[in-house]
């Protein structure tokens, strides 16, 4: 069997088993024949064949079998172990195979925990696995090169990062997990039996959300530490394809909490469970169809599988809609929602709707390039300002309900005079908004947000049983505003945002302290909400208040930037060396440290690549991103090629040759220039040395030009490719810096609050999932 055929046979057999398993489960579910045991055996064989294909691809990668196109494209003999490991999922073919593996394994959750929905759910889930198997038969990672290569092209330098080992697998785990609630929801609707669907499905919705947020945060941090543009989220359309399913999954979690308490929103939850997975498939189409190639640095090129992506995307949509509309029963409708604004149901419903609105708007703008390419000569996309214009006010409203959520419990009570108070508080909010708008302190969207936040908060504060805790949270928020003002923040919009975020975090702290002693199993959700409040403050602090400046650093000259003295000392190698490091010294007070950002040319991309250096502190990051290294034509010095003689003042200097056996470097790397120096008829031979120090830089100590002479000479540069040297003779021939570094220096205040908040969100979701699975 050929090397190509072995892998393709494994994938083909997995496809056959997925087809047989799905057919067996559907036949069993419809009651025609009981083929469940046969379906399970076929499903297990499918897993084994997929696993075998994965193992075989790993084998081809680690044995450097460059007969295989995929191995050639993404691996090489020079890659370290972990980067060879990650080359498995560096291209489209490998990611589809990885996704199929994870999807197959997640099907075991349905098999063992699907309860009464197992058979139907496994049938629908087998369609998902069949989709990936069909794609892989047409986009095989086992295809041969026309001619075997001696060496591979290697992993893209942008992907040679430790996060490449972790981030993609977590993302595809999340995508695979999204299929579980999808299949269970379809099964519940087909059976028209919703007895256990919520209890069985809810933990896996939380797990999907946990994996999605973890993957998004990893991707953001990877961009922050690697790409050098100073940010972590650019509303890139491809980034949004994983962000939107996460937002929808959060909305679904809130909807399912409402259903668990009262039986309301069942139809919405069933549809959202299906929508979350559909958005994953739709995002896959956007990312891999090539429609975003001109609008995203993450987009894949079209590899000729668009027809399969469109077919299965439409198939999943049709299945969802047909099952949803044909399964109308009173049980599916559930109970009506309690719209009492002082009920816990309403607060959860409001949180759910905010997430759905955010997801819908982001998805609309992310799809703009695809929509405009069919109706406009020049396709367009939304810029960052467009996304921020709606995300900013929505984040404040999210903070509002995060502040209210811990204290609004139960079914709510009738409040006397509610309409009157609502009118009064609405008028007060309107007056405040108008004043701010007239004074040009805020734009219209922000004015409306202030109106809504103020009016709603006052309505709830007016309730006696809520007043004390809400006023405490508001007081914490005001304290946050005062601190921000003392730090120099003077924008009303930013101060309002910070106050809302801090108030939300303060409200959650109160309830977390309360539950830690009495009901610790309820801490997870509130810890997630606390993390959201902290994250929002971190987002506004690190983005709105980030400052930067561009600094020009001639070699060996210290320049000041912020409170730092920065000196550029050259390069560890050359710009043509992969992962070449720029050697910087940072001085701040009595402290001195070395910084080594990367700057090098990548032939494969025909572009320069940079990796920033981040000097982390508790309250801020110092972010150093190289922009360019410029050679200076007026560097000066005495340049001599072998055999050349020149007269400098009273001296005649001849460069004879290099001496590569010179000594003097701390690391043993040194080269000398053999010079003949003449004056007044006397000739002497000297050897100035250029030697490496412990930090990788090369230095030359001055030596006398001639015995008894007050003049000295230094070997400033060695140019072996030109057979030349550059000498410096102080007082006679001066040498300026050979190059200069253009460096972008920026301060990122509060960035650690962002990372802390995202970690707390993930930990909170993990606690919730553990509790729900145990139950």
pLDDT at 663 over 90: no
Contacts of range 51-56, beta carbons closer than 8 Å, 24 or more positions apart: 51/101, 52/10, 53/7, 53/10, 53/11, 53/14, 53/97, 54/88, 54/97, 54/98, 54/101, 56/6, 56/7, 56/10, 56/142
Longest dimension (CA), the chain: 114
Which residue would you say has higher pLDDT here, 694 or 664?
Answer: 694
pLDDT, mean of residues 539-560: 90
Confidence of residue 21 (pLDDT cuts 50, 70, 90): very high
pTM for this model (two decimals):
0.86
Q: What is the residue-averaged pLDDT of the chain? A: 88
Q: Which two tokens stand for residue 747?
A: 């301060």
Sheet strand arrangement including 558-561 = 558-561, 564-571, 582-588, 591-595
Q: Whole-angstrom Cα distance, residue 31 to residue 652?
A: 104
**309, 315, 251: which is closest to 282 by C-alpha?**
309
- Do 535 and 753 contact (CB within 8 A), yes or no? yes
Q: Tell me what pLDDT residue 690 has.
A: 84
Q: Whole-angstrom Cα distance, residue 531 to residue 519?
A: 19
- Do 86 and 168 contact (CB within 8 A), yes or no? yes
Q: Tell me what pLDDT residue 473 has.
A: 94
Phi-psi region of 295 (alpha: psi -120 to 50; beta: other; left: phi over 0): alpha
pLDDT at 665 over 60: no
615-657 pLDDT per residue, tens: 999 999 999 999 998 877 666 778 889 999 998 888 899 999 8
Q: Whole-angstrom Cα distance, residue 577 to residue 600?
A: 6
Integer angstrom CA distances of residue 130 from 125, 186, 661, 698: 9, 17, 66, 60
Q: Which range, of 157-161, 473-477, 695-699, averages the lowest pLDDT?
A: 695-699
Q: Tell me what pLDDT residue 332 has.
A: 72
Q: Which two tokens stand for residue 385?
A: 């300002």
3-state SS assignment for residue 486 = helix
pLDDT at 523 over 80: yes
pLDDT, mean of residues 69-85: 93
Confidence of residue 756 (pLDDT cuts 50, 70, 90): very high
Q: Whole-angstrom Cα distance, residue 367 to residue 365?
A: 5
197-230 pLDDT per residue, tens: 999 999 999 999 999 999 999 999 999 998 888 8
- Do 67 and 145 contact (CB within 8 A), yes or no? yes
The DSSP call for residue 521 is G
Q: Tell me what pLDDT residue 111 has.
A: 95
Q: Tell me what pLDDT residue 300 has.
A: 59
Which residue would you say has higher pLDDT here, 458 or 418?
Answer: 458
301-322 pLDDT per residue, tens: 666 778 888 889 899 999 999 9
Instruction: Give alpha helix (H) positions in 624-750.
Output: none
Q: Whole-angstrom Cα distance, residue 457 to residue 56?
A: 60
pLDDT-above-70 percentage for the chain: 94
Other beta carbons within 10 Å of 734:
12
pLDDT, mean of residues 193-198: 90
Winning range, highest mean pLDDT, from 96-110, 538-552, 758-772:
96-110
Q: Which two tokens stand for residue 168?
A: 């993609």
Q: Whole-angstrom Cα distance, residue 710 to residue 462?
A: 89
Q: Tell me what pLDDT residue 293 has.
A: 58
710-729 pLDDT per residue, tens: 888 988 888 776 788 888 88
Q: Tell me what pLDDT residue 668 has.
A: 58
Q: Whole-angstrom Cα distance, residue 98 to residue 86?
A: 11
234-251 pLDDT per residue, tens: 888 888 999 999 999 999
169-193 pLDDT per residue, tens: 999 999 999 999 999 999 999 999 8
Q: Please enumerate in sequence order all residues whose Cβ is within 8 A of that of 253, keeping only pairs 6 or more positions apart, or say none.
A: 202, 205, 206, 209
- Do 503 and 736 contact (CB within 8 A), yes or no? no
Q: Tell me what pLDDT residue 654 has.
A: 94
Q: Whole-angstrom Cα distance, residue 256 to residue 251?
A: 9
| Dihedral Cα 248, 253, 254, 260, nearest 10 deg | 140
Q: Please enumerate in sequence order all residues whose Cβ is within 8 A of that of 662, keeping only pairs 6 or more positions apart, or say none.
A: 670, 671, 672, 687, 689, 691
pLDDT at 40 over 80: yes
pLDDT, mean of residues 689-706: 78
- φ and ψ at 223, to 5 degrees? -60, -40
Integer angstrom CA distances of residue 603 from 248, 577, 610: 41, 11, 14
- Do 534 and 756 contact (CB within 8 A), yes or no? yes
Sheet strand arrangement including 613-616 = 547-554, 739-749, 620-631, 613-616
Q: Whole-angstrom Cα distance, residue 546 to residue 190?
A: 53
pLDDT-above-90 percentage for the chain: 56
pLDDT, mean of residues 505-532: 90
- Do 455 and 424 contact (CB within 8 A), yes or no? no
Residue 28 has, within 13 A of its CA and on its CB side, a CA count of 22
């Amino acid at each position: 069997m050929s090397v190509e055929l072995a892998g393709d046979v494994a994938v083909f057999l997995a496809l056959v088993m997925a087809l047989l398993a799905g057919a067996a489960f559907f036949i069993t579910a419809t009651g025609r024949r009981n083929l469940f045991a046969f379906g399970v055996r076929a499903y297990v064989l499918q897993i084994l064949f997929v696993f075998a294909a994965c193992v075989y691809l790993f084998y081809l990668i680690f044995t450097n079998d460059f007969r295989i196109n995929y191995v050639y494209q993404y691996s090489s003999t020079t890659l370290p172990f972990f980067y060879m490991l990650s080359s498995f999922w560096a291209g489209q073919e490998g990611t589809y195979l990885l996704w199929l593996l994870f999807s197959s394994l997640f099907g075991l959750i349905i098999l063992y925990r699907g309860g009464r929905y197992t058979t139907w759910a496994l049938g629908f889930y087998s369609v998902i696995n069949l989709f990936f198997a069909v794609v892989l038969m047409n986009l095989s990672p086992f295809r041969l090169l026309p001619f075997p290569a001696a060496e591979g092209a290697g992993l893209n330098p942008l992907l040679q990062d430790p996060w490449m080992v972790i981030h993609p697998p977590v993302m595809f785990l999340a995508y695979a997990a999204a299929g579980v609630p999808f299949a269970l929801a379809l099964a519940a609707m087909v059976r028209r039996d919703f007895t256990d669907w919520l209890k069985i499905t809810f933990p896996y919705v939380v797990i999907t959300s946990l994996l999605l947020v973890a993957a998004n945060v990893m991707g953001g941090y990877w961009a922050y530490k690697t790409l050098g543009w100073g940010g972590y989220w650019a509303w890139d359309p491809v980034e949004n394809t994983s962000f939107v399913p996460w937002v929808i999954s959060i909305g679904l979690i809130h909807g399912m909490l409402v259903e668990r308490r009262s039986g309301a929103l069942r139809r919405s939850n069933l549809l959202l469970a299906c929508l979350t997975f559909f958005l994953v498939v739709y995002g896959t189409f956007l990312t891999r169809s090539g429609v975003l190639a001109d609008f995203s640095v993450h987009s894949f090129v079209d590899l000729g599988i668009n027809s399969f992506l469109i077919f299965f995307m439409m198939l999943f949509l049709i299945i969802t809609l047909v099952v949803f509309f044909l399964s109308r029963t009173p049980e599916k409708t559930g109970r009506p929602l309690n719209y009492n604004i002082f009920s816990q149901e309403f607060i959860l419903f409001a949180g759910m709707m905010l997430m759905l609105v955010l997801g819908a708007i982001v998805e609309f703008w992310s799809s703009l390039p695809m929509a405009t390419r069919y109706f406009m000569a020049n396709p367009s996309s939304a810029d960052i300002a467009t996304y921020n214009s709606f995300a900013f006010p929505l984040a404040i409203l999210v903070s509002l309900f995060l502040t209210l959520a811990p204290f609004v419990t139960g079914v709510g009570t009738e409040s006397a005079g509610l309409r009157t108070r609502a009118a009064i508080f609405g008028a007060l909010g309107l007056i405040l908004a108008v004043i701010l708008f007239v004074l040009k302190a805020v734009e219209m969207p922000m004015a409306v947000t202030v109106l809504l936040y103020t009016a709603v908060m006052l309505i709830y504060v007016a309730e006696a049983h809520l007043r004390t805790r809400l006023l405490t949270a508001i007081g914490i928020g005001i304290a946050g505003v005062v601190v921000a003002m003392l730090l120099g923040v003077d924008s009303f919009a930013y101060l309002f945002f910070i106050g809302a975020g801090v108030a939300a975090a303060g409200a959650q702290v109160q309830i977390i302290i309360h539950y830690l002693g009495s009901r610790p199993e309820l801490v997870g959700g509130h810890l997630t909400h606390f993390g959201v409040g902290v994250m929002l403050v971190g987002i506004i602090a690190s983005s709105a208040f980030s400052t930067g400046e561009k600094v020009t650093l001639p070699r060996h000259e210290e320049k000041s930037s912020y409170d730092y003295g920065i000196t550029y000392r050259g390069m560890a190698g050359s710009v043509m060396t992969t992962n070449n490091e720029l050697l910087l010294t940072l001085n701040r007070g009595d402290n001195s440290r070395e910084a080594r950002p990367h700057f090098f040319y990548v032939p494969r991309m025909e572009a320069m690549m940079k990796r920033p250096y981040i000097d982390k502190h508790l309250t801020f990051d110092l972010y150093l991103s190289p922009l360019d290294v410029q050679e200076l034509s007026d560097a000066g010095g005495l340049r001599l090629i072998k055999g050349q003689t020149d007269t400098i003042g009273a001296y005649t200097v001849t460069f004879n040759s290099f001496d590569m056996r010179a000594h003097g470097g701390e690391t043993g790397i040194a080269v000398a220039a053999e010079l003949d120096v003449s004056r007044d008829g006397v000739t002497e031979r000297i050897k100035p040395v250029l030697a490496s120090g412990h930090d990788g830089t090369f230095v030359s100590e001055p030596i006398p030009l001639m015995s008894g002479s007050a003049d000295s000479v230094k070997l400033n540069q060695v140019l072996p490719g030109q057979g030349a040297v550059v000498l410096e003779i102080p007082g006679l021939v001066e040498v300026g810096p050979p190059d200069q570094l253009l460096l972008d220096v920026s301060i990122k205040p509060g960035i650690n609050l962002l990372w802390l908040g995202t970690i707390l969100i993930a930990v909170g979701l993990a606690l919730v999932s553990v509790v729900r699975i145990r139950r």
